[in-house]
Amino acid sequence: MPDELTVNGRPTLEHVDLELLDSYRFPDGAGFPESYRAFIRHAGWARLFGLWLIYPPVLPGFADGLQGRGENLTARFLSVYREGEEEEFEWMVEPDADWSRPVSLRVFGWSENGDALLWDTSSRTPDGEFAVWESRSLDSLHRLGGSLSEALPLIQARARGSFGARGHDVKPLPAVRL
């Protein structure tokens, strides 16, 4: 599905680290899921469905990268969920998870509403994909699918419900230096 998304103009790729996109390895020894790599090559750094920012790996000296922003948001997510577990706020892991799930989730996308898209790095499938989860306002966990390709239609439907149909799926954003 990533290559079926309509892009409003040329994708912003000049600051995307395409070498890292292909060479990065998670602790399990495998790289980024193919659906994510296809999305980044097709869309670049962009706003998805008028709401979502999907962080690409970026070259040194650029903002909004998976290595910087994604890692900071993951640390924030994990901190919020650790506190929620200590306080026994069970709704934070509802409707689709339990307290064992957040520790393996990593942020790769963020909405302008404060929602997170996360990979479950403990759930790699035989074809190399990670399950995709959403944390709405860092206050609930929803499993969206076994890959970004499976999750995109659900993300799109929710965005259309909020903003209506648009003439494009992806709006390229400018590369910003630190």
Q: What is the DSSP letter of 171?
A: E
Output the pTM of the full model.
Answer: 0.94
Amino acid 93: pLDDT: 87
Examine the pLDDT at 46 and tell me if it is beyond 70: yes
Examine the pLDDT at 130 and tell me if it is beyond 90: yes
Amino acid 19: pLDDT: 97
Amino acid 51: pLDDT: 92
Examine the pLDDT at 123 and tell me if it is beyond 80: yes
Amino acid 99: pLDDT: 94
Q: What angle do CA 139, 75, 175 make, to 5 degrees?
A: 100
Amino acid 111: pLDDT: 94
pLDDT in tens, 67-104: 999 999 999 999 999 999 999 999 898 888 889 999 99
Q: How many CA atoms lie within 13 A of 111 on its CB side?
A: 19
- Residue 142, C-beta contacts closer than 8 angstroms, at least 6 positions apart: 95, 96, 133, 134, 135, 136
Strand partners, 7: 170
Give the sheet arrangement for strand 52-54, strand by strand: 142-145, 131-135, 116-120, 105-111, 52-54, 46-48, 170-172
Q: Give whole-number Cα distances, 14 to 23, 68, 71, 134, 176, in Å.
A: 18, 17, 21, 28, 11
Amino acid 95: pLDDT: 85
- Residue 3, C-beta contacts closer than 8 angstroms, at least 6 positions apart: 38, 42
For residues 19 and 57, the answer to whether their CB atoms sit within 8 Å is no
pLDDT in tens, 136-167: 999 999 999 999 999 999 999 988 877 767 78
Amino acid 1: pLDDT: 66
DSSP 47-106: EETTTEEEPPPB-TTBSS-IIIIIHHHHHHHHHHHHHHHHTT-GGGGTBT--TTSGGGEE
